[in-house]
Amino acid sequence: MQTGCSFFYFRDVQRADPLTFIELIENSHQHICLNVEGQAFPVNIQTVVNHAGEQRLVVQVKKPISSNTDYTELTHEQRLKAILENTDAGAWEWNYQTGELILNERWAEMVGYTLEELAPISIDTWFKVLHPDDAKISEHAFQRHFAGDDAFYHCELRLVHKNGSTVWIRDHGRVVTYTENSEPEWICGTHIDITSSKVLEKRLRDSESILSQAQRIARIGHWKANFSTDHLEWSEMIYEMLGLSPQDTVPSISLFKSLVHHEDLKAVEESEQKSLKTGEHDITHRMYRADGEIIWVHEKAKMLNDKVTLVGAVKDVTKQKQLEEKLLKQSRIDYLTNLYNRFYFLELFEHHLAIWKRSKQPVSLLIIDVDNFKLVNDRYGHIAGDKVLQDISSQLSSSTREYDVCARIGGEEFAVLLPDTKLKEAVSIADKLRNKISHHSTAVDNYPIKLSVTIGVSSLADERPDWTSMYSAADAAMYQGKSSGRNTVVSVDE
């Protein structure tokens, strides 16, 4: 006997009563060693219990392999043991018929115990540490293996650690012996601790969930396109954005292009081709949803080094576009008449003025003033006056050409810009407008109000090469018509 270590001879172990060793293990913290032919080897002694409650001892000799041992001289059993220990795996041997369970130290360590603390060991030891919610998973995996559906028993399970925490393990094994009735007998397997991997998986799932929620809130999806194979990958948000079912849709570059608005497809393809040189794809365009609705999207992507794969994100910017269009309209459109306002009219005039300066393409201007409009406001009120202005605006819009520019530039003063129109033709157009308006009446409280307009006409010329001179000439002509009785057309040359 040495201090801190109890020695037993192998012959004694063979003859000993199991209860002797149980008592020793329970009442002593000494290390147990086995003397074999003069050499002392540490041993693990497990007390295992079968279904009938019968106990037996399992002695595991721990014969260490020194660094100078010739590996080729080791027995096959020693090599397998070395491999098992170096995989950091917990090993188990279960007799399916008797309920006996044999474990190694690493198995116990995974759940925070020693083999002594788990004694006596039986299949109940397994159920003690198995998470109750995972018992059916293990049972189902065993039944599939027993039925021959799976070559191995395999599943991932949760165990309850001694400190109450959860330990994830990958459980793998197979039946190694059968009874005379061909029923499973001994099953051997291993446990690999995969807790750290499961923690990372959870973090990844949580990150993906947060990303998915953030993308849904921001209406952003991500995609990956391979132009050599037509292969396209979409995130879940893109399917939702386009109103498509992930189960019924196979993404492809061809499908994507079929959903791009036909007026924007050329620009999208040019941007994709440009990305081969610049490495950047950045474009805002329209797309068709599955229900036919048109949405606006902004795509931004980078070309990978293989020069065939674009990876990027797409954002639904429909609401942003609608707001932009609303603000743009408010900055350009007169709120009452829905015609262009004075500021945008002048901006368009400058565009046509530049064309006239380059090519001398004729441009004419009509200045239209409603006759006796103040009397309408005084007699019928401003609401009636507004209705009259709206009716006259509708007459102007419906009676001019698509490329003509109509605007309200003052209280009851309107302007019509006539591109590619000489002065004589402009006078003819003006007279048709005057005649149409004079024969129209506006109903206010079922009472018809008939009004007329006076129109002054001018055109760009060397002596009128800008807005100020052109407008002044038309305005003067219009006031000349007012002085001569109203409801008339007067041109700058008259």
CB hemisphere CA count around 42 (13 angstroms): 9
At residue 195, the pLDDT reads 94
**Which range has the worst mean pLDDT, 203-207, 272-276, 438-442?**
203-207
CB 49 within 8 A of CB 122: yes
At residue 29, the pLDDT reads 43
Task: Please tell me the distance from the alpha carbon of residue 410 to that of residue 296, in angstroms, as a whole number.
Answer: 36
Q: In order of start, what are the domains of the chain with their CATH numbers?
A: 5-194 (3.30.450.20), 202-321 (3.30.450.20), 333-491 (3.30.70.270)
Taking the CA atoms of the chain, what radius of gyration do you get in angstroms? Answer: 46
CB 34 within 8 A of CB 10: yes
At residue 329, the pLDDT reads 87
Assigned token pair, 480: 């000349």
CB hemisphere CA count around 369 (13 angstroms): 20
Model confidence at 418: pLDDT above 50? yes
The average pLDDT across 177-194 equals 94
Whether the ω angle into residue 120 lies within 30 degrees of 0, i.e. cis, is yes
Residue 58: burial class (beta carbons within 10 Å; 0-12, 13-18, 19+)? middle
Q: How confident is the model at residue 206 (pLDDT cuts 50, 70, 90)?
A: confident
Task: Please tell me the distance from the alpha carbon of residue 62 to that of residue 40, in angstroms, as a whole number.
Answer: 10
At residue 447, the pLDDT reads 84
Q: How confident is the model at residue 205 (pLDDT cuts 50, 70, 90)?
A: confident
Task: Please tell me the distance from the alpha carbon of residue 305 to that of residue 66, in angstroms, as a whole number.
Answer: 51
Task: Please tell me the distance from the alpha carbon of residue 393 to that of residue 411, in angstroms, as a whole number.
Answer: 12
The average pLDDT across 433-452 equals 89
At residue 252, the pLDDT reads 95
Task: Please tell me the distance from the alpha carbon of residue 226 to that of residue 469, in angstroms, as a whole number.
Answer: 60
Q: Which residue type does 372 have?
A: N
Please name which of 8, 46, 48, 6 lies closest in space to residue 28, comparing C-alpha atoms.
6
**Residues paired with 364 in a beta bridge:** 418, 459
CB 140 within 8 A of CB 132: no
Q: Which residue type does 353 have?
A: L
The average pLDDT across 19-38 equals 52
CB hemisphere CA count around 46 (13 angstroms): 21
Model confidence at 187: pLDDT above 90? yes
| Mean pLDDT of all residues belonging to the chain | 87
β pairing state of 413-419 and 405-408: antiparallel
CB 172 within 8 A of CB 143: no
Count of other CB atoms within 10 angstroms of residue 470: 24
Task: Please tell me the distance from the alpha carbon of residue 385 to that of residue 72, in angstroms, as a whole number.
Answer: 109
Task: Please tell me the distance from the alpha carbon of residue 190 to that of residue 155, in angstroms, as a whole number.
Answer: 11
Please tell me what DSSP assigns to residue 247. T
Identify which has the larger pLDDT, 69 or 128.
Answer: 128
Q: How confident is the model at residue 39 (pLDDT cuts 50, 70, 90)?
A: low
Please name which of 366, 398, 383, 397 lies closest in space to residue 449, comparing C-alpha atoms.
383
Assigned token pair, 224: 């990956």
Q: How confident is the model at residue 337 (pLDDT cuts 50, 70, 90)?
A: very high
CA 229-231-235 angle, 5° bins: 160
Predicted confidence (pLDDT) per residue in 250-299, tens digit: 999 999 999 999 999 999 999 999 998 899 999 999 999 999 999 999 99
pTM of the model: 0.54
Task: Please tell me the distance from the alpha carbon of residue 2 to that of residue 37, in angstroms, as a whole number.
Answer: 17
At residue 219, the pLDDT reads 82
Predicted confidence (pLDDT) per residue in 53-109, tens digit: 777 666 665 555 555 666 566 676 767 776 766 778 899 999 999 999 999 999 999
Task: Please tell me the distance from the alpha carbon of residue 91 to that of residue 112, in angstroms, as a whole number.
Answer: 15
CB 433 within 8 A of CB 370: no
Highest mean pLDDT among 24-33, 207-216, 428-437: 428-437
Predicted confidence (pLDDT) per residue in 212-254, tens digit: 777 777 789 999 999 999 999 999 999 999 999 999 999 999 9
At residue 2, the pLDDT reads 37
Contacts for 331 with CB less than 8 Å, ≥ 6 apart = 343, 344
The average pLDDT across 111-125 equals 92
Task: Please tell me the distance from the alpha carbon of residue 462 to that of residue 289, in angstroms, as a whole number.
Answer: 53
Contacts for 235 with CB less than 8 Å, ≥ 6 apart = 212, 215, 221, 222, 223
At residue 42, the pLDDT reads 65
The average pLDDT across 384-402 equals 93
